Amino acid sequence: MIAALGFGAAVGVLLGLLGGGGSILAVPALVYGTGQSLGAAVPTSLLIVGISSAAAVLPRMCTGQVQWRIAGVFGAAGAVAAFGGAAVNRLLDPRVVLAGFALLMVAAGVQMLRERRETGGACALPQGRVNWRRCLPRALGAGLAVGFLTGLFGVGGGFLIIPALVLLLGLSMPTAVGTSLVIIVINSAAGFAAHAGDAAVDYRVAGVFTAAAILGSLVAGRFAARLPAVRLRRWFAYLVFVVAAFVLVQVVTHPFVR
């Protein structure tokens, strides 16, 4: 339970500060930190991340940092794709899933290290309006890709959603963070439903982990605007690289993964 508290707080803090990223640590934390099987860790991670993201988005709703229509389109596409990702997950050896997850973590770390620039992308128009003719295809495509990964690996996908919202769709960083959290909630709910019945969820561990994550996200959300986001993303990327290396070592040195 102590491990669940610590890892939960860490995931929540990252969600609150960055609008994503913390979810990618949840599956390794549940598998190697609390001793859960991969089959149980994936739905548990989705449950934790979904509830924690819902809590993290509350402070941002009050400041209007959510583009609800884009979140709905992006999230609806992801919800459908999550069932496909879950179906592929069931066909793969758990070691292959964990190895693929580690490679995804490396890709996430690289994304976090890249400079993010705010651009006038497909959706950006004056006065908060949306150019749906250009925006809709990109939002649907990005939503499908992120949703598939959500179902396959049990991640919320914020580390992919935010670059898509900023670089492809043209949202500002504050709006992208808030919108990302809403999309993560939708994707996580769909992914959890897709994995329902795969393995028994330990709701005691999930409850402790989630409570710590919610507290961490709410506390971090209050300080997010005061901290240097670039430095936070950089240190998070280094942490992700370390965890990815640990997961790959475990896959290679332990022939059997439950």
pLDDT tens per residue, the chain (258 residues)? 677 788 788 877 777 776 666 667 788 888 888 888 888 888 888 888 888 888 878 877 777 778 888 899 999 999 999 899 989 988 888 888 888 888 887 887 787 677 655 555 566 555 556 667 778 888 899 899 888 988 888 776 777 787 778 777 877 777 888 888 899 899 889 888 888 777 778 888 889 988 988 888 778 767 766 667 677 667 777 877 887 888 888 888 865 555
Residue 227 neighbours by CB distance under 10 Å? 11
Q: CA-to-CA distance for 165 and 184, rounded, in angstroms?
A: 13
Is 28 a member of any domain?
yes
Quick check: is 202 in a domain?
A: yes
Domain count along the chain = 1
Separation between Cα atoms, residue 69 and residue 89, nearest integer Å: 30
**What residue has token string 């990223």?**
21
End-to-end CA distance of the chain: 21
Residue 258 lies in a domain: no
Contact 38, 98 (CB under 8 A): yes
| pLDDT for residue 95 | 85
Q: What is the predicted pLDDT for the residue at 257?
A: 53
- Distance from chain centroid for Cα 70: 17
Q: How far is CA 23 from the centre of its chain?
A: 4
Q: Any idea what the Cα angle at residue 240 is, between residues 37 and 192, rounded to 5°?
A: 40
pTM to 2 decimal places: 0.78
**50 touches 188 (CB < 8 A):** yes
Domain-embedded: residue 137: yes
Q: Give CA 218 to chain center in angstroms.
A: 17
Give residue 66's Cα distance to chain centre: 17
| Residue 53 belongs to a domain | yes
Nearest to 154 by CA among 111, 212, 92: 92
What is the residue range of 171's domain?
A: 2-253
If we measure between CA atoms, which residue out of 220, 144, 180 comes closest to residue 54?
Answer: 180
Within-domain flag for 234:
yes
At 139 the three-state DSSP class reads helix
In 3-state terms, what secondary structure has residue 118?
Answer: coil
15 assigned to some structural domain: yes
Whether residue 151 contacts residue 191, with contact meaning beta carbons closer than 8 Å, is answered with yes
Residue 215 lies in a domain: yes
